[in-house]
Amino acid sequence: MSSRPQVAPAIEYVSSPFETDSSVTSQSNVATAVSSPNVLLVGRNGSWGTLVLRSLEKFRTELSFAAPQTVTPEYVRRGAYDVILLDSTVSPEQRRQLASELIGSEVSVFYTFPVENGCWWLPTLRRGQDCHGTPAFRRNEFPFELERILRDQTEA
């Protein structure tokens, strides 16, 4: 056991939107609202992978976790989610139900399909459009696609 003191990680301070900094001058009198993408992770907490979680952090997403049995199309609509990621604990029937009832919404839905040493990410909906049958993404490719979707979401 080490005799070195234990140091807790620093907490990053993010100023409240109502705080002002008198040293900063405004270039515009128009207020701009920047919203973070709202992402729902359905399944086990440890099933997302480091690369996916880094991509979500990079875009400062608002994350919610839910157990598969609690997620319904109405639950998704109430939460106003932009992206939903489903792990392999979500049954095929539930994936189909979610996809069919969320067509026409603005939500993007992907689910994992386990393979020998990892998983594939399969697109189900892209901004409410059915995309079954489109190519899947390998575990190391999916974070790039996720970042593209999140970038599009923040620019919309």
Q: What is the CATH number of the domain that holds 107?
A: 3.40.50
25 in a structural domain: no
Contacting residues for 125 by C-beta, under 8 A, at least 6 apart: 99, 102, 103, 105, 107, 108, 109, 131
Pick left, alpha or beta for residue 68 (phi over 0 → left; psi -120 to 50 → alpha; otherwise beta).
alpha
128 in a structural domain: yes
Give the tokens for residue 20: 């002002």
Is the Cβ–Cβ distance between 34 and 154 less than 8 Å?
Answer: yes
70 in a structural domain: yes
65 in a structural domain: yes
- pLDDT of amino acid 22: 36
Task: Tell me how far apart the alpha carbons of residues 60 and 57 are, in angstroms, rounded to a whole number.
Answer: 5
Task: Tell me how far apart the alpha carbons of residues 98 and 73 are, in angstroms, rounded to a whole number.
Answer: 6
Chain-wide mean pLDDT for the chain?
A: 80
2 in a structural domain: no
Q: Is 47 or 15 the better-scoring residue by pLDDT?
A: 47
110 in a structural domain: yes
19 in a structural domain: no
What are 98-132's pLDDT values in tens digits? 999 999 999 999 999 988 888 899 999 999 999 98
- Supply the range of the domain harboring residue 74: 38-155
6 in a structural domain: no
What are 67-103's pLDDT values in tens digits? 999 999 999 999 999 999 999 999 999 999 999 999 9
- Count how many domains the chain has: 1
**How sure is the predictor about 8, in pLDDT bands with cuts at 50, 70 and 90?**
very low
Give the tokens for residue 154: 């923040």
- pLDDT of amino acid 36: 86
Residue 42 has pLDDT above 90, yes or no: yes
**How sure is the predictor about 41, in pLDDT bands with cuts at 50, 70 and 90?**
very high
pTM, two decimal places: 0.75
